[in-house]
Amino acid sequence: MNILKKDFIFKDINKLKGVGPQLSKYLKKRKIEKIKDIILNLPYSETDRSKISKINKLEIGKIQTIKVTVKKLNFPRIRNLPNKILCEDETGKIDIIYFNSREGYLRKIFPLNGQVIISGKTNYYKNKYQITNPDYVTNLENQDYVVKNIPKYTLTKGINEKKYRTISEQVTKNLPVINDWLSEDFVKNNNLLNWNNTIERLHNSNDSKENNSKSYRRIVFDEICANFITLSENRKRIKKIKKAKSFQEIVSNKIIKSLPFNLTKSQINTYREINEDLKNKIRMFRIIQGDVGSGKTIVSFLTISNVIESKYQCALMAPTEILSRQHYKLAVNIFRNTNFKIEYLSGKTEYVKKKRILENLEKGKIDLIIGTHSLFQKKIKFKNLGFIVIDEQHKFGVRQRLELAKKGGNNCDVLLLSATPIPRTMMMSLYGDMDISKITEKPSVRKKIITYSKPEKKINDLWDYIKKQIDEKNQIFWVCPLIDESKILDYSSAVNRFNFIEKKFPKKVGLIHGSLNKIEKEKILNKFLKKEISILVSTTVIEVGIDFPNANLIIIENANKFGLAQLHQLRGRVGRGIKQGICILLFKDGLSKNAIKRIKTLKNSDDGFYIAEEDLKLRGFGDLTGYQQSGVKNFRFADPVIHNDLFLLADKYVSQMKENINSKKFSFLLKLFDKAEIINVEEI
């Protein structure tokens, strides 16, 4: 009989029988907060209690199951001594030991001369087998409950297997019959299972450990669908009717003619796509995916000039003060021959100046405001905001994008810029609610960065070369490896390297590490930008997007510890001026085949999109780093490498519904994967 109702699944776990405040607290440490979290907390293994062993065949230290007769119950009256129950079978005797258990309870479960099934870890003490505090004790009628393979879950202190099993089975054995959101034909044709069978098998078979079993593939497909439906609904809410912008591209054409280089084909295509969006009556929500140094910023400035020409205000945001200030300087230079009114605003702007800027913004006297994400404070008001550009937008998830679109108002178009090329499957998962433009070429003025690899034991060969670079007024990045999760260890390794290089090049070296706060970090980056220091030692990934035109050499220690995409991002920090950029990868002896392939791929290619795909193939999704902050790794079950076909199937399935997605039909699915609140499914 199904005792749970659909809505009950989404209640707090303390609504379950036997889950009090203390147990609830322990479960929440495992991120099991709602009853549905128990459904999604799949077993990672099994405890084999299926075989009944004879006492003389027991193995010490193993979990085993025995069928025995209770011969004697010993309850000592001396405090702190354990209770002891003597049991036997035809092959030998065994002591069952209990600490802190009530006599009445033990007499009930161990009837004298009665037969019982006992399961627990076997020990040997004073020439006799014993089991201390067994996991299970039951009568023969209940044998089937114990003598089997029992699902094994990742638990936390305060919860044992037996206790969790009673809670889990209370849910999984009493699930409501769900009206499946997938049709029987779809399930059958794609070799999946229906939802109720899926959950039953995942908790009571090996399916949860087989990532390509029918039931596991079904839960994966559901998770991907929930993600894609959310993105599709988000897109509907953002892509609303607006006033089309009207412009003649007068300023932008002048800027293009004055540039010291020609725009690449990719830049031109992207620029045209954005212009079409601006002139359209549907709001633009587009992302430019472009490699490091591919020229995304200039495209955004050309677009900004068109929006200003159409009598709207623009805002450009970047994640850090140093990057936003750099954008401001570039904007002032690019728009120097126009009458555009441009201002810069950050948390550090003086009060009097800030007040004046805010007043002018509200009166429409400022055409373009550039700053950090603080531009989105409630007190900042625009007269006629028509365009928002966000650089390095990886901190913005689906919910934030929706809020962003609301903030701008109905006539505001939104453009996001990202310098992190990612594989196609991940693009679908991250940006399915957006239109995507790709800039795949580099400007012709940019020379391809030369990449060398060198064993770390030959590090001393570098010092003369570095001295020559410094003498020629070039600057150098030196990236230390992330050797441990501990900030203390990484800090000490960076300090040691800094001290070592400082002795060779006194007063020419700066240091950035994870323990520095944002202000201290920006202070050192500014010193490097102003050429006050020649070498910057860093344990962190140097801020993406910041232009250091004088940095032409990057040395990456223990390069085999980094992923391909990370190495490519780091390499892109140099060669942004007119001089040749050089990247030196230092590695330790005994590289794995995969590490050798990664280094070869990097040396042979400077295409970020190709490198991202290769990184995924070589290392697999589970080992990729650097995507957590962008939300790519928020899948619980789905793996873009293993389940690529399911990503494509889900994309096709959701795309076919387009505007006709029945959110009520999928409401259970969306709630199950915590997506309902993002798009406020109750509204629909």
Residue range 421-431, pLDDT digits in tens:
777 777 777 77
Both structure tokens of 101: 């258990």
pLDDT over 80 at 678, yes or no: no
Q: What is residue 485's predicted lDDT score, i.e. its pLDDT?
A: 47
pLDDT, the chain, mean: 85
Residue 431: the pLDDT is: 75
Task: For residues 449 and 513, give the distance between their C-alpha atoms in angstroms, rounded to a whole number.
Answer: 26
* Total Cβ atoms within 10 A of residue 547: 17
Provide mean pLDDT across the span 253-275. Answer: 93
3 state SS of 17: coil
180, 639, 673, 565 alpha-carbon torsion, rounded to 10°? -150
Give the model's confidence band at 400: pLDDT under 50 very low, under 70 low, under 90 confident, else very high. low
Q: Categorize the per-residue pLDDT at 594 as very low, low, confident or very high, splitting at 50, 70 and 90.
A: confident
Q: Distance (Å, rounded) from C-alpha 347 to C-alpha 372? A: 8
Q: Return the pLDDT at 632.
A: 47
pLDDT of residue 513: 78
Predicted confidence (pLDDT) at residue 395 exceeds the cutoff of 60:
no
Domain ranges of the chain: 1-46+161-177, 51-147, 178-240+644-684, 250-439, 450-605
Q: Characterize 645-660 residue by residue with b for buried, 16 or more Cβ atoms within 10 angstroms of its Cβ, and e for exposed.
A: ebbebbbebbeeeeee
- DSSP single-letter state for residue 667: H
Q: How far apart are CA 161 and CA 604, in angstroms?
A: 52
Other CB atoms closer than 10 Å to residue 327's CB: what's the count?
Answer: 22
The tokens describing 188, both together, are: 């059958």
Q: CATH: 3.20.20.70, 3.40.640.10, 3.40.50.300, 3.30.450.20. Which one for 450-605?
A: 3.40.50.300
Check whether domain 250-439 has CATH 3.40.50.300, yes or no: yes
Structure tokens at 125: 């003490």
Q: How far is it, in rounded angstroms, from Cα 111 to Cα 501?
A: 76
> Is 90 exceeded by the pLDDT of residue 300?
yes
Q: How confident is the model at residue 682 (pLDDT cuts 50, 70, 90)?
A: very low
Q: Which of 73-87, 402-416, 470-484 has the lowest mean pLDDT?
A: 402-416
- Do 250-439 and 450-605 agree at the fold level? yes
**pLDDT score at 109:** 95
Other Cβ atoms less than 10 A from the Cβ of 618: the count is 17
CA-CA distance, 611 to 602, in Å (whole number)?
A: 7
pLDDT of residue 478: 93
Mapping DSSP to helix (H, G, I), strand (E, B) and coil, where does residue 115 land?
strand
Q: What is the pLDDT of residue 612?
A: 82
| pLDDT tens track for 449-477 | 899 988 888 889 999 999 999 999 999 99
Q: What is the pLDDT of residues 613-628, one digit of tens each?
A: 888 777 665 444 344 4
Alpha-carbon distance 633 to 393, whole Å?
16
Paired tokens of 90: 């035809």
The two most distant CA atoms of the chain are separated, in Å, by: 101
Angstrom distance (rounded) from CA 674 to CA 40: 12
Q: Residue 683 pLDDT > 60, yes or no?
A: no
Closest C-alpha to 361, from 314, 318, 305: 314
- Tens digits of residue pLDDT in 115-166: 999 999 999 998 899 999 999 999 999 999 999 989 988 887 888 888 999 9
- Starting at the edge strand found earlier in the chain, the sheet holding 509-512 runs 450-455, 582-587, 551-556, 475-479, 535-538, 509-512
pLDDT at 186: 94
Mean pLDDT of 390-408: 67
Contact 440, 609 (CB under 8 A): yes
**How many other C-beta atoms are found inside a 10 Å radius of the C-beta of residue 606?**
22
Residue 402 has pLDDT above 70, yes or no: no
Residues 530-581 pLDDT 10s: 899 999 998 765 655 567 888 899 999 888 777 787 788 888 888 877 788 9
User: In this structure, which amino acid lies at residue 366?
Assistant: I
- The two structure tokens encoding residue 670: 């969306």
SS3 call for 161? helix
Quick one: CA dihedral 627, 630, 636, 642, positive or negative?
negative
CATH number listed for the domain at residues 51-147:
2.40.50.140
Answering whether pTM is above 0.95, one says: no
